[in-house]
Amino acid sequence: MKQVNWGIIGCGNVTEQKSGPAFNLIDDSSLVAVMRRNGELAKDYAHRHRVPKWYDNADALINDPDVNAIYIATPPDTHCSYAIQALKAGKPVYVEKPMALNFEQCQQMIETSNQTGIPLFVAYYRRSLPLFVKIKELIEQGTIGKPMLVNLRFYRSPSPSDLQTKNPAWRVIPEISGGGHFVDLAAHQLDYLSYILGEITEENGFSTNHGGLYPAEDTVSATWKHSSGVTATGNWCFTCAEDTNIDTIDIIGDQGKIEFSTFKFSPIKVKTPHGEKEFYFEKPTHVEQYFIQTVVSELLGNEKSPANVTTAANTTRVMERILGKDK
């Protein structure tokens, strides 16, 4: 492959700035077609982003001879079917997270990728963002010594869409999303921690719906262990008071601590016996661009992407176990 010509299945809000424009900003990469079931919205997206083609049918986009790679940005309940269809059509797939509705579907996607020999990537893009690359470097350089413990806290008050109890957003309908905000957001956190501390090998959890605003759980507590031996605790609440909102991960080592935010792009804070230091990084205009660059690079036969479908699938398995959905 000398040029990656992308087609997007599901050109919704997530593609407006986070990802969509990035495909045209990378060398030897272009966005040539988009699809959405609502044809008028697909047409509008194509017009605003100067995309040559638009469709209201996924089959047509997948079979478009000008498209040689597929980005799936639909809700998780269709990730598996679209990915398998695209892979069987011989087209590499870049799929949004979480990888699929459940671990079983993740395995089906990986199996199809292996059988066809066509690459599959999952959009855990923090693996390539400079802020998170720096945290990985700090860990590997032994800045805090040997990592021993992780303490994750994520509390958020209900969003306006959460309060629309008669018409809940798809992200809090388990049949579409696989869970609630925990599945949507903790997926990034658990995948990244697996990337820098090793695969999660043991996990336990409790979940409940305190607010009753939507069908999915809104409060989750979990413990888990990484293959490196690091143990961790995490607490997520999506129905708390606004003045208790927090987004913090602490990695404790035997010689210090690293504190950072997953979603706020606040400074990385490092505390050791030698003092305290902060590292600042601006939020990129298109946060997936660095990661998409690595995917394009691998497809062109150059450097390998840090993407890992086995870990991505394991992240889904871990979340299922924490929520008790594996029983």
Question: What are the per-10-residue average pLDDT scores of the chain (327 residues)?
Answer: 96 95 97 96 97 97 98 98 98 98 97 98 98 98 98 96 88 95 98 98 96 96 98 97 95 98 97 96 97 98 96 98 85
Helix and strand numbers (H, E) in the chain are 11, 14
* Two structure tokens written together for 14: 């997530």
pLDDT (0 to 100) of residue 327:
59
CATH architecture of the region 130-283: 2-Layer Sandwich (3.30)
Q: What is 4-122's CATH superfamily? A: NAD(P)-binding Rossmann-like Domain (3.40.50.720)
CATH 3.30.360.10 domain position(s) in the chain: 130-283
Residue 60 buriedness (CB in 10 A; 0-12 / 13-18 / 19+): middle
Tokens representing 149 are 């413990």
User: Which residue intervals of the chain bear CATH 3.40.50.720?
Assistant: 4-122
CA distance 69 to 62: 9
The torsion angle over the Cα atoms of residues 38, 39, 40 and 43, rounded to 10 degrees, is 130
The first and second tokens of residue 260, run together, are: 């950072």
Amino acid at residue number 53: K
CA–CA distance, 133 with 127 (Å, rounded to integer): 7
pLDDT at 112: 98
Residue 325 contacts residue 102 (beta carbons within 8 Å): yes
Residue 165 CA: distances (Å) to CA of 39, 280, 288: 28, 39, 31
Tell me the HSE value of 89 on the side-chain side, using a 13 A CA sphere.
22
